[in-house]
A and B are shown apart, each in its own frame.
Chain A
């Protein structure tokens, strides 16, 4: 009965090996338990990691699911180009459903033409789930991203309206996942739940994964607003009293243009980004997501409404 018995033994797997093996296990459980899953692929770093894990899980076979992108129409062109190229390289099927189609149908009504479209993605996603009859959507969300995600299950149950009820989630024990659903209901599966932003970057470095160029430091016209950097683009033009600066920046997350802010950085390689990430003093979402700042509980609210 002492600490003597807990003597040091070298670990068998490094933390990245362990995380990778767990994620592969989760992806294979989706394939083994679900009849018609899809993998949400946006061209962002987390979903790029998911694709690499899917290769490790299923090659030399094809992926047992198509890739699905919900396109807000407000994405950086570099990211869309990357998305299409990556799907081609993998010879996997890519389905794109766009918010603009939902707007034409009248299922999405914007309050203002320039408002963030991020929160409206849920509607187009639910329409795609219904159109294709998906019983599971695999997403790249991580528990370290945001408080409401810290309690998210790896297999998260959604009712037929896509709603997440934080008070009524299935207990999840060991690695025994329960993906059983009735028709119309579905599961959101999160294979990299246990990864942090730093783990993602370390894995990108280790696996030498290719990323859209805007993740790396580049020059861009910027306006400083509310402590965040707002890029000047066709969608987000400078206002008359704005002071526009040319800054070296990189994106930590890539989402909808009007709600994704870059950070000042000279990191132009993955290795330099890892160093910055290890030393950073602001959370990923706090620094870059204009939409999460609205209220402390905003992510939870969006998740209840069907956001992934």
Chain B
């Protein structure tokens, strides 16, 4: 730590960061074609990949190159002609990098979509213009809302098959808004498009001059990327404690750095902090990123915090500010999505992992199960794969939590079966 430097003030002016989004839709909505179109029109598909899918298209007797083949990943899927797992795709426009979570449909849909949604800042819900709102549109919208994805885009696709008619678009939009209100969805953006021809995806095309809003890519380029953009409260779950204990170096001999990523808010040198769950106060002595000493750091940065006092902090603790503390609790209520083929057994104990913390957990009650198609609340005494339910847990160790609707990082948890070590459920704290 001899060469301590200040962080350069300037970011490259053209870089507007990274946006993660997911696409929801079934085989027939043209979801794979839309992703293929985005990759193709942003010149992400390279020549050898394109010639490989051209060969496959030809072998299958197709007239044009099938862009949806780009997103068919694994051998097992190709054999069955279906996609079974979330796949991640990448493209860049030069100003922004994108990660697409491609969640396939079919019987494991809920599980896949919840997984894909967990890291997404934006969801594209595809509607076939010929069909309008379907049960699945409702399901996708409910899950997007449940997972608190900040931005919702309703892409009304296959406009080429309805004569690019504005009134079709308007009717679907007002239908959607009516039921979105029932769900409590506050905001959505509507775009008419043809993934097949590329209209309103990257290029505007000539077919829908009546539409004056942004193309899909223009929208993606302008949406805020910040993950926990609504929560300004400082949240720093400690991942690892660095204690070099180097006898030969007086600076490092007593060095004690608390390493982690700032999940929300920001922190400045000199700020007063509170360490949870113990409730001990201290001040930030310094913020390190390798050999740089930073005056402040913001959400998303992985840093090392040095505190004024020698206090006992370990992995699993959370550093916050005293005036905006998190709830320390041994009892949580949550919406849970069951992910495992082995059903939930209310008699059993499970392990919960939330931020960097672990606790044994028992089921206090299953309050209700949500019918994903009718959105009705049903009584339940166990949960099977893809079920969504409200569940209350008792915990052996206290957790430091916020409501998931305010903070995705401190409000989310996974449930682990400690006999198999599998991840069996995802939870959103109420």
Instruction: List the interface of chain A (C-beta within 8 A of B).
Output: 1-3, 5-22, 24-25, 28-29, 31-32, 55-62, 64, 143-144, 147-148, 150-151, 166-167, 169-176, 178, 180-182, 193-194, 196, 198-199, 280-283, 286-287, 296-297, 300-301
Contacts and interface: CB of A to CB of B under 8 A. Distances in A.
B230 interface: no
Nearest to B89: A150
B248 to A, nearest CB: 12
A175 B260 CA distance: 12
B416 A169 contact: no
Contacts, number: 207
B240 A28 contact: yes
Nearest to A142: B90
Contact of A6 (B189, B291, B300): B189
Contacts of A7: 222
Contacts of A22: 302
Contacts of B259: 28, 57-58
A25 B239 contact: yes
Contacts of B356: 29, 32
Interface in B163-200: 177, 186-189
A10 B52 CA distance: 39
B242 A58 contact: yes
Contacts of A174: 118-119, 408-409, 412, 414, 426
B160 to A, nearest CB: 23
Contact of B414 (A32, A59, A176, A286): A176
Given A15-B96, A28-B260, A28-B302, 5 more contacts: A11-B225, A17-B301, A18-B17, A31-B240, A178-B422
B243 interface: yes
Interface of B: 1, 11-12, 15-18, 46-49, 52, 72-76, 78, 84-90, 92, 96-97, 99, 111, 114-115, 118-119, 151, 177, 186-189, 213-214, 219, 222-226, 239-240, 242-244, 252, 255, 257, 259-261, 289-291, 298-302, 315, 339, 353-354, 356, 408-409, 412-414, 416, 418, 421-423, 426
A172 B101 CA distance: 12
Contact of A32 (B240, B291, B412): B240
7 contacts: A11-B18, A17-B301, A32-B240, A32-B356, A147-B72, A150-B88, A171-B423
B52 A296 contact: yes
Contact of A3 (B48, B213, B354, B418): B213
B16 to A, nearest CB: 5
Nearest to B315: A32
Contacts of B90: 143-144, 194, 196
Given A6-B189, A14-B15, A24-B302, A282 B47 contact: yes
A142 to B, nearest CB: 9
Nearest to A3: B189
Contacts of A17: 11, 300-301
Contacts of A172: 115, 423
Contact of B118 (A10, A20, A173): A173
CB-CB nearest 5 A-B residue pairs = A11-B17, A286-B48, A24-B302, A15-B97, A173-B118
Contact of B298 (A9, A12, A32, A286): A12
A144 B46 CA distance: 12
A282 B46 CA distance: 5
Contacts of A13: 11, 17-18, 298, 300-301
B73 A150 contact: yes
Contact of B219 (A6, A21, A150): A6
Contacts of A166: 74, 76, 85
B17 A15 contact: yes
Contacts of B418: 180
Contacts of B413: 176
Contact of A287 (B48, B260, B353): B48
A6 B19 CA distance: 13
Nearest to B417: A180
Given A55-B290, A167-B76, A281-B47, A61 B88 contact: no
Contacts of A180: 416, 418, 421
A11 B223 contact: no
Given A62-B244, A151-B74, A176-B353, A6 B222 contact: yes
A62 B115 CA distance: 34
Contacts of A178: 353, 414, 416, 421-423
B75 A300 contact: yes
A6 B223 contact: yes
A56 to B, nearest CB: 5
A89 B114 CA distance: 44
Nearest to B242: A61
B73 A151 contact: yes
Nearest to B420: A182
A287 B49 CA distance: 11
A182 B92 contact: no
Contacts of B151: 6
A2 B12 CA distance: 30
A60 B245 CA distance: 10
Most buried by B among A7, A18, A57, A196: A18
Nearest to A6: B223
